[in-house]
Amino acid sequence: MANLVKYPQIQEKLFMEIKGVVRDGEENIKEDDLQQLPYLKAIILEGLRRHPPFHFVFPHAVTEDVVVGEYVIPKEAAIVINAAEMGWDLKVWEDPMSFNPSRFLNKEGETFDITGRREIKMMPFGVGRRICPGYALSMLHLEYFVANLVSKFEWKAVDGDDVDLSEEQEFTMVMKNPLQAQLSLRSK
Ligand code: HEM
C-alpha cells in the first residue's frame, strides 16, 4: 500500500483495471474477479520482490556433501539463503531497486511462477519441498485486500510526505516509519 501511495499513477492504473472488471452494483471484489486482474497480481509480486517480509528463509541442511557450482555444501551445515538479495540481483532484474510492477506483465500473458518450479528469480516464500505452505493463501489474501482497499478508497500521501520505505527488522521486516495516508471514499 505504501508504494501505491508513493506512486499515485500505479494506484490509478490499478483502479482503472479494477473498474473494467467489477460489475456495476457489485459491493466487493470477489475471488473470481481476481483472475482477471493481471496488473494487481503484478503489483503484489513486485511488492514481495522489493520488500519481502522475510529476508532469509529458514535454515536448511543437506544429508550428504553436495557440490553446487564451485561450492561444496558440507553435510549437515546450516545453510541460510538470503532470499531478499536474490530478488534485487542486478544480473537478473533490470533496475532492481525501483518499484515497477510492469516487469511482471509479459506479452504472452504467462503468469510468473512464484513456486520457482520453472526458474528461480526470487523466492519470498522459499522454494522446493519446504516452500511456505501458506503461499497460495497469502497471495489470495494480498490480492483480495489490496483490490478492495483500492477499489473503495483513494489513498493519498499526507501533504509534504515523501513516503519513506525504509525497513526495520521485527519478526518480519516492517516499515521503519509506518505508513500515514489520507483516504477518501471513491464515488460509486
Ligand atoms: C506474505 C506472507 C508469507 C510469507 C512471505 C511467508 C514466507 C515464508 C518463508 C520464506 C518460509 C521459509 C521457507 C523455507 O525455509 O524454505 C515460510 C515457511 C512457512 N510458512 Fe510462510 N509465509 C507467509 C505466510 C504464511 C501463512 C499465511 C502460513 C499459514 C497459513 C504460513 C505457514 C508457514 C509454515 C508452516 C512454514 C514452515 C514450512 C516448513 O518448514 O516446511 N506462512 N514462509
pLDDT band at 155 (very low <50, low <70, confident <90, very high): very high
Residue partners of 141: CB distance under 8 A and separation at least 6:
none
User: For residue 120, what pLDDT band results from cuts at 50, 70 and 90?
Assistant: very high
What is the mean predicted confidence (pLDDT) over 144-170? 95
Ligand 1 pocket: which of 46, 125, 140 to mutate (most atoms <8 Å of CB)? Answer: 125
Nearest to residue 142, comparing CAs of 71, 63, 44?
44
Res 108 pLDDT > 80: no
Q: How confident is the model at residue 130 (pLDDT cuts 50, 70, 90)?
A: very high
pLDDT (0 to 100) of residue 27: 80
Atom of ligand 1 nearest to the CA of 53: 5
Residue 143 has what pLDDT? 97
The mean predicted confidence, pLDDT, of the chain is 94
Residues with CB under 6 A from ligand 1: 53-54, 57-58, 124-126, 130, 132-134, 137-138
Give the atom of ligand 1 at the shortest distance from the alpha carbon of 123. Answer: 10
pTM for the full model? Answer: 0.95
Q: What is the pLDDT of residue 105?
A: 94
129, 132, 135, best to mutate for ligand 1 pocket (most atoms within 8 Å of CB): 132
What does the DSSP assignment read for 69-93? TTEEE-TT--B--BHHHHHT-TTTS
Reply yes or no on whether the pLDDT at 188 is more than 90.
no
Q: How far is the CA of 68 from the centre of ligand 1 (A)?
A: 25
Q: What is the pLDDT of residues 51-106, one digit of tens each?
A: 999 999 999 999 999 999 999 999 999 999 999 999 999 999 999 999 999 999 98
Q: What is the mean pLDDT of residues 34-56?
A: 97
1: its cell numbers? 500500500
Task: Give the model's pLDDT for residue 111.
Answer: 83
30 is in an annotated binding site: no
Which residue is closest in CA terms to ligand 1's atom 7?
125
For ligand 1, atom 17, name the residue with the nearest CA.
132
Kindly indicate the confidence band of residue 36, based on its pLDDT and cuts at 50, 70 and 90.
very high
User: How large a percentage of the chain has pLDDT more than 90?
Assistant: 89
- For ligand 1, atom 9, name the residue with the nearest CA: 125
Angstrom distance (rounded) from CA 68 to CA 176:
37
Q: Which grid cell sits at 49?
A: 520482490
